[in-house]
Structure 1
């Protein structure tokens, strides 16, 4: 359809378009005047994307792009709405309860109905280029709208804090339970170590093991000395066949005196044999005395030789005794080391239990502090105030929209009426409806512009006919 055809249809049926436009505009104006006034109050909250941890002191990483939409969903959630309802005291309002009974006849849950009713007038929009979220509420009462908007902002902040600290509180509760278990384990390990120490007489910090080791070293030293002395004695015993050459014999004062007496007596005996003769009684007496001295010398010499054997026996017995003491000391050391090892194992259990308990206790303290935090990354930028003018209806805007929509609908009705009662209004209508070319057209006196346009159209039409033939 050409523009000329469209213009001619509108020109011919303009009354239908005007009537439609008038009716729609009039109805819109009447509705704007009759509809109840509604007021919209809004508050703005700012969400900080990077916050400092009050417990650890570090700065959190920047939030993702989905953080603000998530916050919008939190504001629109039932949890936030329930807090707002509770803050406004609507759940205990008898008038609201009576309205619920009239609306639902007592069916359903009053709190859920109230939350859904509150959410209907709520409008939450995040800013496109900032971290500001606008919370708007619309109702028939401007004061109530402002109160609800502020209540939702405060409820959102409280919910934000709860969502932040709830995991910390759950962790703190879990760590508290684990701390009790680990504390019991620590006490049990300490009791086992204490009982073992008392039973074995062990003090972990004493030097008993070192002293017993020193005793063993002393016994080994004594055994070495005795073995050396015994070896020396045995060598002397092996040389005891010529006991007179032994150092102890040669250095003995008694043997030295005996030898001197023997030498003097032998000299006297030689003189007596010359002077008195071998049969003289004095000679016989001196000879008997000499034999007695030699016998005593031999006895003393053999006594010293026999003393080495006695010393060897004593040394051997002493060495055997020391060896038995060394063996007993070694067994005692092994037992002490074994007891010390067991005590160290128990001490290690106590240390491990202490470390585990300290770690859990530290985490409990940290999470408990986090669970008590009241810090949030949300702050109210602009509180809501009771609006002075209603947000709806808006007669001027509605009228303007009604004029635009009425014009479009009027044109549509005009075309619909034309389609139901088709008329020939321009030459193109004849060609389209009858399929024959238009050779001439009679019209009123036209301006030069109109004649030029008509001639151009006729010439173009003839060219089309020639081209088709």
Structure 2
């Protein structure tokens, strides 16, 4: 079938097309005029998305905004919000609504649930793609009622949003209050352990105590070095005194020894002089000899005494050295004990600081969450309040008419083609060629009327 054949079919079946078109358009216009008019009221809301977790205080990522808006749409269209709208408007008190409910539900449902389901069927919520605006639309037969329902849904949504915001904060506040008590007990226990340890070890200021003990340790070490030097010197002098006798420096430096040596030298000189003048048996010689022996004995006694004195000093220095070594060892042990006490004290102080920090953090979050739990302002703000519309939103006569024109034309053409397929006619030379499957040699123009020509062609096609 070419385009000319298609046009011939449309021309021949024009009545079917026209009648189909008129029926579709007329029916659509009639129905649009007969249907009750519905009015759509819309209220706009601004959602202030903060995204703060009430327990941890962490800010949620901005990428979650689309999901957040979808959640808000689900909240608005929830059954709980619709029931709240019914309760706020007192729709269950209307006798007409009660009668309609009894006729429709037969007592199987709650009237609030039934009304909530009816309201949700005519509710439409649209979030903005590039902003935090929500539009709540309600369609009804009464413009005043539609505006009231739209505004009621906005108010109920604000209440639900505030409740959903406050309840987690209140629950989190209860949890944080319990944690605050636990952390406060931990802090008190850590402080008690620190105080007990300081009292048991007598630690007021561990740094000052450690400085004092280190100073004592250094002083003892210096004294020990001095005493060791003195003891070594005394021991050397003792050995020298014992070994060299009066040649020892300590012995030679003694005034008594020096006087005795002088006296001995004089007595020896007298003894030599007496020996030259007198005999050994002479009383003067014997007296001089006795004086020399006496002086020698005194000199030996004095040398022995000085050696003993030097040895006593050496022993005293050795004893002092031993005492200082013991004191130094004890002081070292005391300093080590103080270091260990300081390390343990630092550990206990860190435990107190850690417990204090944890308690402060929990207390801070508790205060913030408690404030949020007592908040009475929602993050939802009404941008535009719904007002009763002046024009109805449905049925849309112009749009329905345009669609019926398009649909009527398409159905008219479809019915025409279907009718042609059920009763095929020969309407052109192309139809004859397709029918006889022979080439066309010539075409004779006829002056007969259109009615006769249109009647000959089908008979010719049947007779052939």
Q: Which of 283, 305, 308 is the aligned partner of 1:306?
A: 308
RMSD over aligned CA atoms reads 5.0
Unpaired stretches in structure 2, ≥5 consecutive residues? 438-442
Match of 1:6 in 2: 10
Q: Secondary structure at the match of 2:206?
A: coil
In 1, the alpha carbon distance for the partners of 2:428 and 2:414 equals 22
Deviates more, 1:97-106 or 1:407-416: 407-416
The structure-2 alpha-carbon separation of the partners of 1:343 and 1:407, relative to structure 1 and needing over 3 Å to count, comes to closer
The Cα offsets for residues 188-239 of structure 1, whole Å up to 9 and x where unpaired, read as 2222222222222234534323333333333333332222222222222222
Deviations 1:14-47, CA, capped at 9 Å, x for gaps: 6787678667655654x34xx4x54322122345
Describe the shift of the 1:281–1:149 C-alpha distance in structure 2 as closer, same or farther (beyond 3 A): same
Asked if the contact 1:51/1:377 (under 8 Å) is kept, the reply is: no
Contact 2:191–2:352 (8 Å) recurs in 1: yes
| Preserved CA contact (<8 Å) 1:161 1:375 | yes
**In the aligned structure 2, how far is the partner of 1:69 from the partner of 1:127?**
10
The answer for the alignment partner of 2:122 in structure 1 is 121
Separation in structure 1 between the aligned mates of residue 178 and residue 364 of structure 2, nearest angstrom: 13
Q: Which residue number corresponds to residue 150 of structure 1? A: 151
Q: Which TM-score applies when normalising by structure 1?
A: 0.72
CA contact (8 A) 1:169 1:371 kept: yes
Q: Any idea what SS the aligned residue of 1:207 has?
A: helix
Instruction: Kindly indicate whether the alpha-carbon contact (under 8 Å) linking 1:430 and 1:436 is maintained by their aligned counterparts in 2.
Output: no
Going from structure 1 to structure 2, the CA distance change for 1:69 and 1:195 (only over 3 Å counts) comes to closer
1:257 paired residue number? 259
Q: Which moved more, 1:144-153 or 1:63-72?
A: 63-72
Aligned partners of 2:194 and 2:348 also within 8 Å: yes
Instruction: Provide the C-alpha distance between the structure 2 equivalents of 1:60 and 1:373, rounded to a whole number of angstroms.
Output: 23
Partner of 1:135: 136
Whether the aligned pair in 1 keeps the contact of 2:32 and 2:395 (CA below 8 Å) is no
Gap runs ≥5 in structure 1: 459-464
Change (3 A) 1:323 1:99: farther
- Rate the CA distance shift 1:272–1:167 in 2: closer, same or farther, 3 A: same
Q: For 1:331 and 1:417, how far apart are their aligned partners in 2? A: 117
Maintained 8 Å contact 1:21/1:410: no
1:134 counterpart SS class: strand
Match of 1:461 in 2: none
**Which one is further off, 157-166 or 218-227?**
157-166
**C-alpha distance in 1 between matches for 2:428 and 2:306:** 166
CA contact (8 A) 2:39 2:143 kept: yes
**Residues in 2 aligned to 1:341 and 1:236: alpha-carbon distance in whole angstroms:** 49
SS at match of 1:108: coil
Please tell me whether the aligned partners of residues 220 and 326 of structure 1 are also in contact (alpha carbons under 8 angstroms). Answer: yes
Tell me how far 1:303 sits from its aligned partner.
Answer: 0.3
Once residues 301 and 20 of structure 1 are traced to their aligned partners in structure 2, the CA distance between those partners, rounded to angstroms, is: 156
The number of residue pairs the alignment matches comes to: 443
The secondary structure found in structure 2 opposite 1:427 is: coil
Name the counterpart of 1:42: 42
Q: Is the 8 A contact 2:17 2:413 kept in 1?
A: no
* TM-aligned CA deviation for residue 255 of structure 1: 2.5
**In structure 1, distance between residues paired with 2:262 and 2:24:** 172
